[in-house]
Amino acid sequence: MAEGILNLVLGKLSDVVVKEVLLIHGVGEQVETLSRELSRIQAFLKDADMKQIVNERQKHWVKEVRDVAYDIEDVIDNAFFLKVSETPSKELSRGGFQIVRATKRMWSKHKKLPALHNLANEMNQILARIREINESRERYEINSLGEGSGELLRLPVRPLVVPDMDDPDVVGFNTDRDNIVKQLLDTSTKRRTVISIVGTGGLGKTTLAQKVYNSNDVKRWFDVHIWVAISQEFNLKDILRNIIEHVEPLSRNDLEGGEQYLLTKLYRTLNGKKYLLVLDDIWTTDLWTRIGGVLPNAEIGSRVIITSRFQNIANDVEPYKLPYLTEESSLQLLMKKALPNQDLSKGYLNDLYEVGQQFIKKCGGLPLALVVLGGLLSKRPAIYASWIKLLQTMNWGTDGRECTEIIATSYNDLPFVLKSCFMFFAAFPEDHEIDAQGLFRLWVAEGLILAEESRTLEDTAESFLEDLVQRSLVQVSQRSHTSSIKSCHIHDLLREVAIQKAKEENFLTICSNPDNWESCTKARHVAVHYSGCDELMEHANPKLQSLWCPKWPMPNCSQHRRLKVLSDMGQSQGVEFEWFQGLTQLRYCELSGYWHRNNFKSFESFIGNLKFVETLDFHLLENHPSLPDYIWNVKTLRHVKLWQHNSGPSSSANLRNLQTLMGVRSQESWNALLPKLPNVRDLEILVERSFSWDLFAKFLGTLKHLTCLKLLGNEVPEKIVSMQRFPFYEHLQSLTVWEQSPLLNNKFLPEVGMFPIHLTELTLIGLQFVEDPLSVLEKLQSLRMLSLEGEKANQKMSCSAGGFQQLHELYFTGMFNLEEWEIMADGMPKLKILRLEYCFKLGVPLGLQYLSNLKEVSVFDCSEIRKHEDEIRDICKHVPYVYIKI
């Protein structure tokens, strides 16, 4: 539907600065009329949406609305491009109303310019089209339900339903898992063998392969474990590099080499190793033939797992046909998703059980269909009348299309603000793990998130993602210790629906190979999913607003002056900033790789032209120079993530909207700056020796929204001890302290009072303690994650009975002097993950048997422990996953 773009346009028309600029251009009266007419259309769009229109005339009416909304957006952008882009940076740095005053001066000087006159003409033409669209709705049989449009503008705020992080929704795979694990570990077969798991989309092939891959026995059996997701539009060189990178770092030749070079390198890399290789979701026989033909086939027990929708991918292999779920497993899965807050151990309500039985027959034992249907039901009252109505009104289609129909119904059930957010997932490559915070910033930059009085745009975006997760349209990859989503992904069938809807709505165009670049030259939002899109960028596209290019190298974008979103998704290998000159409209900029030092002026020029930027994410862009002072006065700036050790803002900056500031050095002026950062949430600072810690501690207490703090530098821990106000800082949830001094005698004694009382995550790197730090840290009542890295002083540590009551994850890395570690009974009762790395002298930890809730024990390069591997495994029989490697 067209609600998303229409809502975006209405939001822009209500913006104060936009109104002022359009008023100056002489179209203020038209703007008011236009807003009223568009608001009237909102109700009719809701009616068309709820009736799920199929009439071609109605579809044409909706398309007309969408097209005119896009044209309005272009007029607004034209007004800013003509005037604001000519405004000197110094004037822009003073804020939105200075933009207006500068524009007024230009208008008085250039009011007879034809381009400005055309804006008024364009607006009048659009008004005429809008009136015609409103008058024609009766001919299209689209009638309002009589309800106001206000409810269309916001998604209702619901309490979050946070699922169990142990993934309780996976059912019915235990027998299949055991069968495949048995084949993998069959000692009678020494030669490399292939297991092909086949079945229709949504049947759970990937889920089953993951359960096998993560099996404790499988992890212990093989020397090398490699998982590679294959997309329908695959690139063989990328796949080969991915496999090699699982075993050893990629060299420059690997990055630049052709297919034959990489095939040869693949053989040499795996030769002599007992490997397990999983190729998930293969679509063509040719791909397996080329890779399989070079895989080492020595008689050492190597194995390959293939998952595919097609049975003939590996012709010489008997396929393992994954069965559909039984009715019992189907009902169990459906009810878990539909009733997430209810205890189902005592059975189901009789009336819901009855209609549930009818639902599972429609789903035919397909897990994805059951999960998405359950997510749809979870948003409806858990009563018979509501469920039976959905059963009777859904368009179930023909046999074999149930999953598609369920996904379509779940999509259509979304509020329109969520439809746009869901379609946005089409931009990401298949099987891509998506950083949640980055996703929120992209949604904001694209204008998909509406301002709400009681919370930030990012908070609203987070609630939207949680809603999509509860509906089972998006899957959580990882949650933080405060249960917020850290990363997510989307099933390939759901992604196909997102792509289809994005295409229908003219929302996004996917450029997946060189043959379809022409369709992208007229698109407003483009995602390029193949390496090298220079050809695409050579063709001017005056409407292009967003470019995602998660393949390298990044193209020259300088002629696409209307770009608002530019992202390489952390995948680029190099950046030349002359490629991005003149992009004055950028709201979101994410670049990675390596900056070439020989062109500082192009970097400074690029940054100097960013007048409305909200997010600058350069934290993966190595060695880029410090940002010029100008950028710190851009009032729209919300998130800045830089490569380490960059100069930060000066005390003259006023960054009330800034929420993220990472990768900057402290300065004496910072004590005057901190009060000007009232809304900062994430702060990472490299602390200079001359820094005034007393004032810093005082101002930290004024940052009421700060939840994550990272302090890097010399003499950091001693200074923290002296920060008397710091212990009472109540809002901080995550703290990292990294002592970077090379002095070996720089030791200190931690105290409970030196840490904020509500910490859930604590990382201490390079610290040298006088005594056992665990005796202090175990008293932090809210701590869920503790990471100690590079501590060199202590030979013995212990956790007492009752210590670390809430701890879930514990990491020891580079504890070079640690020889003995003991856990008393009733210590760490909730610990799930234990990882030990580079603790060369550490023997078998005493008391591991007391950790009854452990799910994972991972040991890397701990030579003393490796000598007692059998003893460790015997002690940890109760742990599902034990992995020991040197």
pLDDT digits over 2-26, tens only?
Answer: 666 676 677 666 665 566 666 665 6
User: Can you tell me whether residue 458 is helix, strand or coil?
Assistant: helix
Q: Which letter does DSSP use for residue 430 in this model?
A: T
Q: Is the pLDDT of residue 411 over 60?
A: yes
Q: What is the pLDDT of residue 112?
A: 40
pLDDT value for 552: 60
pLDDT band at 727 (very low <50, low <70, confident <90, very high): low
pLDDT tens per residue, range 498-529: 988 888 888 888 887 766 666 666 778 888 87
CA distance 859 to 881: 11
pLDDT, position 24 = 61
Distance CA 7, CA 592 (A): 33
117: confidence class by pLDDT, cuts 50, 70, 90: low
b/e map 411-424, b = 16+ CB within 10 Å:
beebbbbbbbbbbb
- Helix pair angle (3-14, 16-24), 10° resolution: 70
**Which of 769, 776, 674, 780 is CA-nearest to residue 735?**
780
Q: Which of 112-116, 265-269, 783-787, 832-836 has the lowest mean pLDDT?
A: 112-116
* Residue 574, beta-bridge partner list: none
Strand partners, 846: 822
Q: Are 545 and 527 in contact (CB under 8 A)?
A: no
**548 touches 427 (CB < 8 A):** yes
pLDDT band at 601 (very low <50, low <70, confident <90, very high): confident
pLDDT band at 728 (very low <50, low <70, confident <90, very high): low
Length of the chain: 886
Residue 633 binned pLDDT confidence (cut-offs 50, 70, 90): confident
**Residue 712: strand, helix, or coil:** strand
Q: Which amino acid is at 724?
A: Q
Band of pLDDT at residue 97, cut at 50, 70 and 90 = very low
Of 652, 645, 693, nearest to 675 (Cα)?
652
3-class state of residue 471 by DSSP: coil
Name the strand (E) or helix (H) holding 565.
Answer: strand 565-567
Residue 813, C-beta contacts closer than 8 angstroms, at least 6 positions apart: 787, 788, 789, 790, 835, 837, 838, 839
Q: What does the alpha-carbon distance between residue 592 and residue 552 come to, in Å, rounded to a whole number?
A: 10
pLDDT at 742: 55
DSSP state of 223: S
Contact 664, 647 (CB under 8 A): yes
Q: Give the number of other CB atoms < 10 A from CB of residue 480.
A: 17
* Phi-psi region at 452: left, alpha or beta (left = phi > 0; alpha = psi -120 to 50): beta
Question: CA-to-CA distance for 266 and 883, rounded, in angstroms?
Answer: 25
Q: Indicate the range of 94-103, 148-157, 361-370, 808-817 predicted with least confidence.
A: 148-157
CA dist 36 and 289 (Å) reads: 61
SS3 801: coil
Confidence bin at 145 (pLDDT 50/70/90): very low
Mean pLDDT of the residues in the chain: 79
pLDDT confidence band for 314 (50 / 70 / 90): confident
Cα→Cα distances 554→190, 460, 594, Å: 45, 31, 12
Torsion of CA 365, 333, 415, 71, to 10 degrees: -50
Cα–chain center distance at 706: 21
Phi, psi of 486 (to 5 degrees): -95, -40
pTM over 0.85: no
Q: What percent of the chain has pLDDT over 70?
A: 76
pLDDT at 407: 85
H-state helical runs in 339-456: 350-363, 367-378, 384-393, 402-412, 416-423, 436-445
C-alpha distance from residue 668 to each of 101, 694, 695, 869 (Å)? 35, 12, 10, 52
* DSSP at 149: S
pLDDT class of 397 with cuts at 50, 70, 90: low
> Are residues 813 and 790 in contact, defined by beta-carbon separation less than 8 angstroms?
yes
Structure confidence at residue 348 (pLDDT): 67
| CA-based R_g, the chain, Å | 29
Residue type, 22: L
Q: Is the dihedral of CA 102, 105, 108, 112 positive or negative?
A: negative
For residue 434, the model assigns a pLDDT of 92
What's the confidence (pLDDT) of residue 767?
A: 80
Does 614 score more than 90 pLDDT? yes
Contact 368/496 with Cβ under 8 angstroms?
Answer: no
In three-state secondary structure terms, 401 is coil
Mean pLDDT check: name the lowest of 163-177, 182-196, 525-539, 737-751: 163-177
Q: Tens digit of pLDDT for each residue in 816-831?
A: 889 999 999 999 999 9
How far, in Å, CA of 574 to CA of 572, rounded?
6
Question: Exposed (0-12), middle (13-18) or buried (19+): which is 695, by Cβ within 10 Å?
Answer: middle
Based on the number of CB atoms within 10 Å of its own CB, is 702 exposed (0-12), middle (13-18) or buried (19 or more)?
A: exposed
How do the residues of the chain divide into helix, strand and coil, expressed in percent and rounded to 5? 40, 15, 40
Q: What are phi and psi of 485, to 5 degrees?
A: -75, 125
Tell which phi-psi region holds residue 790, choosing left (phi > 0), alpha (psi between -120 and 50) or beta. left
447-505 pLDDT, tens digit per residue, is 888 777 778 999 999 999 999 998 889 999 999 888 899 999 998 889 988 988 888 88
Tokens read off for 625: 């120079």
The confidence score (pLDDT) of residue 89 equals 45
Q: Tell me: pLDDT of 108 over 70.
A: no
Query: For the residues 412-424, what does the mean pLDDT come to?
Result: 86
Sorted by sequence, the CB contacts under 8 Å of residue 215 that are 6+ apart come out as 177, 181
Residues 551-583: tens digit of each pLDDT: 666 777 877 778 889 988 777 667 778 888 888
Residue 199 has pLDDT above 50, yes or no: yes
* Beta carbons within 10 angstroms of residue 138's beta carbon: 9
Contact 208, 180 (CB under 8 A): yes
The phi and psi torsions of 268 (rounded to 5 degrees) equal -65, -35
User: Which pLDDT does position 164 carry in this prediction?
Assistant: 36
Answer yes or no: is pLDDT of 721 > 90.
no
For the purposes of burial, counting CB atoms within 10 Å of the CB of 51, is it exposed (0-12), middle (13-18) or buried (19 or more)?
middle
* The dihedral formed by the CA atoms of 460, 462, 467 and 473, expressed in degrees to the nearest 10: 130
Percent of the chain with pLDDT strictly greater than 90? 21
Can you list the pairs that 461-467 forms with residues at least 24 positions away whose Cβ atoms lie under 8 Å?
A: 461/421, 462/436, 463/155, 463/157, 463/158, 463/160, 464/155, 464/417, 464/418, 464/421, 465/421, 465/436, 465/439, 465/440, 466/160, 466/161, 466/162, 467/155, 467/158, 467/418
Structure tokens, 4: 């998303």
Residue 591 has pLDDT above 70, yes or no: yes
Contact indicator for 22, 31 with CB cutoff of 8 Å: yes
Would you place residue 71 in the very low, low, confident or very high pLDDT band (cuts 50, 70, 90)?
confident
- Highest mean pLDDT range out of 69-73, 128-132, 184-188, 782-786? 782-786
Q: Where are the alpha helices (DSSP H) in 424-529?
A: 436-445, 457-470, 492-504
Mean pLDDT value across residues 683-689: 81
The answer to whether the CB of 42 falls within 8 A of the CB of 416 is no
Task: Work out whether the CA dihedral 136, 148, 62, 28 comes out positive or negative.
Answer: positive
Select the more confidently predicted residue: 33 or 811: 811
553: cis peptide before it, omega within 30°? yes
Query: What pLDDT, in 10s, does the model give residues 850-883?
Result: 999 998 899 988 989 988 888 998 898 888 888 8
- pLDDT given for residue 104 in this prediction: 46
The single residue listed with the structure tokens 């501590």 is 791
Question: Please, are residues 102 and 11 in contact by the beta-carbon 8 Å criterion?
Answer: no
pLDDT of amino acid 111: 45
**pLDDT confidence tier of residue 287, bands split at 50, 70 and 90:** confident
Helix axes 28-50, 114-136, angle to 10 degrees: 30
Encoding tokens for residue 37? 């007419």
